[in-house]
């Protein structure tokens, strides 16, 4: 089969993100016309990390597309924890700010968990606050981390059944792995979470009906590690001089997968679109 024959197996994150953004744009227009409220997102960036700057720009461009008001808060790298918390407290009190996003990573002298916990739960657009994480764990999915939310939305859009399926997640971060596991458990999947200390990773991945990989290791998952007909989400990203790579050996794994996300153009656009959806939700419930 030619490479063109595999196109139907690719989950096009850009197309799905556009659909989500169109939904958000309609919701924003309804909120503005019905209640006179324009959803507002405040992004906080500490330091001048180039990748973080790029991610913030992408999020602000998405805001422009859907009609969300975005404001930048750039702090110098030497900003103290007290100064960062003070800014977050100010944004918590600002009625024109409905969602707050703290761009990670922070400079090494700062404490990200404390800063994220300072964000008002109802303005936690990223879904990282312990209150929102706790609600997720008991099946009350409101503001949940954007990437796992995007994965679930993609599975729904492509009519992939979850109930009773074997799901394997590679990576146990608070950003992706742990909340992803909870969301699958909430949908009655059987879930295995693997990580850097897992013995014989292949033994687990070969049994996966749905495989989510978020390890940040270039081409960690080879074709002989997945079964025929698996649905695969590649969340990892590694940037090298000659290009950007995912955690999955896409060119070879696509020959076995029923569905697979590319890198770039897969999970990334979905994550940003879901963030827009969360900001709208914050504005609809807290204004």
| Beta strand extents in 149-254 (DSSP E only) | 166-170, 190-194, 210-213, 231-234, 238-240, 243-245
Q: Is 277 an annotated catalytic residue?
A: no
Q: Is 81 an annotated catalytic residue?
A: no
Helix runs in the chain, H state only: 13-35, 50-66, 81-93, 112-118, 130-137, 146-157, 177-186, 201-205, 250-253, 267-285
167 closest CA partner among 137, 194, 147: 194
Q: Catalytic one among 126, 209, 247, 249?
A: 126
| Joined tokens for residue 176 | 């992706």
181 closest CA partner among 219, 145, 154: 145
Q: Catalytic one among 19, 22, 61, 103?
A: 103
Judged on CB neighbours under 10 Å (0-12, 13-18, 19+), 109 is: exposed
Contact 170/196 with Cβ under 8 angstroms? no
Torsion of CA 144, 148, 152, 155, to 10 degrees: 170
**3-class DSSP state of 158:** coil
User: Which residue in the block uniquely carries the two structure tokens 């687990």?
Assistant: 204
Contact 225/201 with Cβ under 8 angstroms? yes
> Which residues are registered as beta bridge partners of 72?
43
Q: Catalytic one among 22, 48, 49, 59?
A: 59
Q: Is 59 an annotated catalytic residue?
A: yes
| Residues with active-site annotation | 59, 103, 126
């Amino acid at each position: 089969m030619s490479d063109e024959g595999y196109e139907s197996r690719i989950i096009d994150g850009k197309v799905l993100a556009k659909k989500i953004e169109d939904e958000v744009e309609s919701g924003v227009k309804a909120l503005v016309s019905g209640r006179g409220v324009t959803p507002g997102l405040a992004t906080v960036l500490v330091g001048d990390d180039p990748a973080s700057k790029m991610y913030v720009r992408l999020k602000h461009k998405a805001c422009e597309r859907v009609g969300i008001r975005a404001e930048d808060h750039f702090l110098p790298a030497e900003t103290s924890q007290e100064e960062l918390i003070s800014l977050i407290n100010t944004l918590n009190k600002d009625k024109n700010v409905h969602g707050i996003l703290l761009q990670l990573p922070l400079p090494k002298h700062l404490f990200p968990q404390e800063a994220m916990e300072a964000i008002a739960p109802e303005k936690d657009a990223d879904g990282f606050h312990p209150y929102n994480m706790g609600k997720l764990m008991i099946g009350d999915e409101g503001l949940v981390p954007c990437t796992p939310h995007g994965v679930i939305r993609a599975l729904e859009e492509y009519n992939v059944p979850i109930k009773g399926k074997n799901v394997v997640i590679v990576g146990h971060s608070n950003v992706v792995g742990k909340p992803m596991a909870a969301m699958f458990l909430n949908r009655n999947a059987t879930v295995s979470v693997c990580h850097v200390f897992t013995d014989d990773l292949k033994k687990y991945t070969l049994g996966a009906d749905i495989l989510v990989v978020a390890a940040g290791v270039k081409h960690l998952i080879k074709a002989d590690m997945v079964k025929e007909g698996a649905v695969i989400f590649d969340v990892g990203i590694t940037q090298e001089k000659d290009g950007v790579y995912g955690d999955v050996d896409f060119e070879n794994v696509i020959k076995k997968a029923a569905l697979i996300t590319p890198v770039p153009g897969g999970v990334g656009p979905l994550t940003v679109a879901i963030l827009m959806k969360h900001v709208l939700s914050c504005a609809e419930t807290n204004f």
